[in-house]
Structure formats: structure tokens, C-alpha cells
Amino acid sequence: MAPSNPIALINADRISKSFGIKPLLESVSLGVHEGQRIGVVGLNGGGKTTLLEILGGITEPDDGRVSRASDMRIATVTQRGELPAGATVAEVVVGGPEVAVHEWAGDPRIRGILNGIGIAGLLDARVDELSGGQRRRVGLAAALVSDADLLLLDEPTNHLDVEGVQWLADHLVSRRSALVVVTHDRWFLDTVATRTWEVHSGRVDDYEGGYNDWVFARAERSRLADAAEERRRNLARKELAWLRRGPPARTSKPRYRIEAAERLIADVPPPRDTVTLSAFAKRRLGRVVIELEDARIATPAKDVLLDDLTWRLAPGERIGLVGVNGSGKTTLLRALAGEIDVAPGHRIEGTTVKIGWLRQELDDLDPDQRLLEAVEEVATRIMVGDKEMSAGQLAERLGFTPARQRTPVGDLSGGERRRLQMTRVLMAEPNVLLLDEPTNDLDIDTLQQLEDLLDSWAGTMVVISHDRYLIERICDSTWALFGDGKLTNLPGGIEQYLQRRRELASAPTPRKASSPARDEPDVAKAPSLSAAEHREARKTMNRLERQIEQLSSREERLHAELISAATDPEKLISLNTELKEVTEAKDLAEFEWLEIAERME
């Protein structure tokens, strides 16, 4: 909770910053006060990170002034992942070698941070030996352990699993520190932020509240801008008509009217760098998509992650896959793609299947190759709906301007390369999508458009993501890896996953995956559905939902017809009989739907 009379921690007065000829911030004034939690959103490359680094004193503005409260402690976590060379994780997080273990090991706050971020088992490791994701988590833990007055965090949810994102949100809300966080995670933004800054077109717009409040406020701003644009066009048409009346050689028109008209016509804001993803043509899927039979899935070090797994993906099935880091989600995706052996079991792939796979690793493209050439490597033309489009036209619709299409791949930002990678996957017109953390490095505008595409996409899809908004919107079912050698269906979705994780964490001794006869009898009183049974139940529920919707529409029409037939007794009797039949059929369908839903729980 913010103090009643909050102290100003940072004030930025008319700051500007450009890179080359591109202005990122133009005469921006803003402030951060004690107790505020501010989320920063905007397009990739729009200046979010630059703003954060200016506030933290890492980067100086070209113009303007930044003042900070005296004796204020700031902890900044950027995406650079810079840590002291040769240091251990413990030295980075809790202090140098002179700090004894007993000085911090008994502190429940520090232990909670180490466990919450997932680095408690890495304390003796040297930071030089860590992966990029582990280094980011170490830097984040160091910032959280510090007693800072202000936290500046750049994409802190990257490289955290769903459980880690939940923990971080709870931790930040409970802290007294002020917070400025750049994030693309909509659930995290909505949970943590009390204000939202949108960085765009060199400006920073300030909104009250989190993600949902920002969406509503931005929609209202867009509506007002549309109305202003319509008035501007009407004025422009009148001015142009006035300028064009009379002989061409006539020069007696007041100069101020001509200049005003020219300014009015020229004052058209550039289009927002939004991404419009159209529905790509789908290739037909047969009855068999991808099936794993009695599969054993192991790491390269031969550690078994899943054993005796039978999993059949159905046409049009949409699956969200969750689990802690290291539980084998990506390895399972590789098994579905046919990249790793599943012996002694086997993998079956339908003859019409065409897989599109978005990996976490960026494509290894020639850095000197231009963006358009990288797209044309996959296809030069594509059918979008009923229209044929060239690679250049499609790239432009995906947010890459004609000028940007000539940019070498090596000069693209991380977010742009991720968008290029997704474009190349979709350009191949797959009918099975395997997406590994598709939201990493994408801005919120791109995520919204991506969701619109995937929400109506007709193929089979398996998505690994820590983004709860994405999973809950585009997936029909959620499956989890708990590290027990099994793949578990979760009818309750992400909330059920987090509840199960809490139950497992509080259990005195974990169950062993090698003891199928003692398969957690205390967790679920009723046997869970198999993958095939769950799939059939989901199909039946979808059919019943369509039936209920049709019956509801028919019921509304009959009510309207009853009102119109008020003076016709015979027609009233006929309509009333039909309405009774429709109501009974609807009640029966709803009862059947509820029965199936209870079985799935």
C-alpha cells in the first residue's frame, strides 16, 4: 500500500533519448513515488528498456534532467545479465566471501527468495558456468535480497516457470519497495501494477491500474483519436476544396490559409507498429496426428523423465503444457516432433501431418541476410484466406515496414528476431504447431495479435508457456509434468497446477515415480481420466455447448414470436408447445454437460 503522502523517489524532467536518427523518448516528464508499483508496456524497440536504464542511471539522457532522492537505494535488473566474473552465486546474491553462511542462512526472507526464484541448489556454482536463464535469475534474486527503496526490473518473468511467476508477483506485492517493471506478462502486470506506463511514439502515457485497466483506457483513447481523425479529414477536405477552386494561376488566396491546410494534411500520425496476423491456409489432418505408444523419454544424460507414456494428439486438439523448469517439457516437445528416440516405445505420425515448431533458441540465420530474404527462404508466396500474398506483403502485415525488410538479420532486436522466427514457422503452413515459450521477447501488441490467430487456428497445437493469459485463452486442456515420471491432465487448469505444487511441496516425503502401485491414493479419491477418455469427454462437451447455444437462440426466437402472436390463440398454443420442448432439451443438455464436467474434475 502506498503511503498517504508519498515521497518522490525519482523525477525525470523533459528527458529525450535517440539512437542514431530514431528518437525513442522526446521531452518526457514523469516521476516515481514511494510505494508505487508501475508496469511499463509498449512495442519492442519503442524505448521501454532505455527509459528503465535512464531512471536507474545506467544510461544518460541526451536532453533533460533526472533527479533522485538523497540516500535512495536502487536495485536494477536488466536483460544484459552482467554478473561479476568468477564469483559464486552465493557471493552475488548475499554478499562477498567475507559474509559467513550463518549470517544469512537463518534468515527466512532470504531463504524464501532463493527457493522462490529457484536457485537454492546453485549457491556454490560459479556464475560463469550458468546458462543465460540461470544468470538472469541470480541477478533477480540479488535485487530482491537487497533492501532497496526502488526496484527497476526488465522482463523479470522471462526464464521463470508458472509457479515462479506466481511467487514473484506475491513477493513484489508484499514488499514496501517502489517498483518499475518492464513486462509482457499480462497476468503478472495485472496482479502487480497499480499504474501502467505505455511507451510509444517518443511519449510515455500514464494510466491508473494494471493490464485490464490499461486495455480499457487505451481503447477509449483510440475511440477519441478516431473521432478526432474524422474531424481532421473533414476539415482537410474543405480546405483542399477551397484551395482548388478558381483558376490555377490565381495567387490571391491568403498565405496563412494555404499553410494551415498543408499542416492539417501533413499532420497525420504514423500508423502504430501493430502486427496483423491473418488466418493461414490449413493443410488437412487425417484421423492420426501424432501418437506416442509406451514411450520412454529421457535427457541426453539418460535420466528418465517419462516412462511408459501413451499419448495421442487428436485433430484440432489444443494443449497447454506446464511444469517446473527441468521437468522435461521441451524434451517432450522434441519427442512429439520426432527429434529424439522414445524406445522401447514408438512414435506414429499421420501421413498428412506437417509440423511447425517454434523453439526457444533463435534460428541460426546468416546475420548478413536481409529480413525479407529470410522469409522468402521458407516461401515466396502464400495463400492468406482467399488471397495470394508475396513474402514482402506478408512481412509488412506482420509489422515489418518495407524499409525494415531490407535490414540485415544481425541488426534486428531480440523481439524482432522472435517475430521473424514465428513468421517463418507460419509461412510453412503447418497443421501441427509445437510452440516452446512463444511469448518470450514479444511485446503485448504482438501477443494480442498472435492470440487472435491461434484462438481461431484449426490445427493441432501443443504450447509450453509461463504466460497464464495465453494458456487460458488458446488452450482447451492443460497437462502437467510434476517430475513423477507421468503426464497429468488438469481439468482445473493453471490454478489446479499451482494447488498441486503446493500440496507436493508440503508433503513430508515425495512419492517415487518407480512405484506405480502406490500412485498417490491420497491426492485423488477418484481415478483420473486417461488421455483418450479426456479427449472424448472434451469432444462431447464441445458438442453439447454448441447444442445449448442453438437451443438458447431458438428459445429467444420463440419468446419473440409468442409476443407477436398475442392475438392468435391457435398459434400461441403451437408456439408454447414448441417452447416447452426446446426448454426441456436445453435442460437435458445442460445436465449432461454438468455430469461430464464433474467426471473430468
Instruction: State pLDDT tens for residues 350-380.
Output: 988 999 999 887 777 888 999 999 999 999 9
- CATH class of segment(s) 290-516: alpha beta
Helix ranges restricted to H, 245-384: 255-266, 329-337, 371-376
pLDDT score at 428: 87
Cα–Cα dist 273/443, whole Å: 11
Residue-level pLDDT at 127: 87
> Amino acid letter at 359?
R
Alpha helices (runs of H) in 398-443, residue ranges in sequence order = 402-405, 414-427
Strand pairing report for 387-390 and 381-384: antiparallel
320 has which bridge partners?
Answer: 463, 478
Distance CA 81, CA 525 (A): 46
* Close Cβ partners of 153 (under 8 Å, ≥ 6 residues apart): 76, 77, 140, 143, 179, 180, 181, 182, 183
**C-alpha to C-alpha distance for 40 and 182, rounded to whole angstroms:** 5
Coil, strand or helix: which one is 421?
helix
Successive 10-residue mean pLDDT values, the chain, 601 residues: 73 91 90 95 86 94 93 88 84 68 72 89 86 86 92 91 92 95 92 94 90 79 69 58 47 48 48 32 64 89 86 90 86 92 91 89 84 93 70 76 89 81 86 89 77 75 90 89 89 90 73 41 45 69 78 82 75 80 81 72 57
**pLDDT for res 526:** 40
DSSP-derived pairing of the beta strands 74-77 and 150-154? parallel
Helix or strand or coil: residue 13?
A: strand
Residue 412: helix, strand or coil by DSSP?
A: coil
Distance CA 24, CA 46 (A): 6
What pLDDT score was predicted for residue 124? Answer: 85
Q: How far apart are the first and last CA of the chain?
A: 37
Q: What is the dihedral of CA 478, 484, 485, 487, to 10 degrees?
A: -10
- Strand, helix or coil for residue 91: helix
Cα–Cα nearest to 454, from 593, 286, 289, 275: 275
- What residues contact residue 237 under an 8 Å CB cut-off, 6+ apart? none
- In contact, 317 and 461? CB cutoff 8 Å: yes
Contact partners, residue 175, CB within 8 Å, separation at least 6:
151
Residue 551 and residue 582 in contact, taking contact as beta carbons nearer than 8 Å: yes
DSSP strand pairing (195-200 vs 203-208): antiparallel
Residue (of 451, 484, 453) closest to 465 by Cα position: 451
Q: Which residues are CB-contacts of 271 (< 8 A; sequence separation ≥ 6)?
A: none
pLDDT digits (tens, 9 = 90+) for 199-230: 988 999 999 988 888 887 777 777 777 676 66
CA angle 27, 419, 269 (to 5 degrees): 35
pLDDT given at position 577: 81
Q: Cα-flanking dihedrals φ and ψ of residue 111, to 5°?
A: -60, -40
Distance of alpha carbon 109 from alpha carbon 144, whole angstroms: 10
Give the pLDDT score at 373. Answer: 94
DSSP state of 314: P
Taken in order 428, 431, 436, 438, the sign of the CA dihedral is positive
Peptide bond just before 61 cis, omega within 30 deg: no
What gap in Å lies between CA 355 and CA 595, rounded to an integer? 36
Q: Give the span between the Cα atoms of 418 and 424, in whole angstroms.
A: 10
CATH code of the domain occupying 8-214? 3.40.50.300
Q: Which of 400, 294, 393, 277 is nearest to 348 (CA)?
A: 294
- Give pLDDT, residue 232: 62
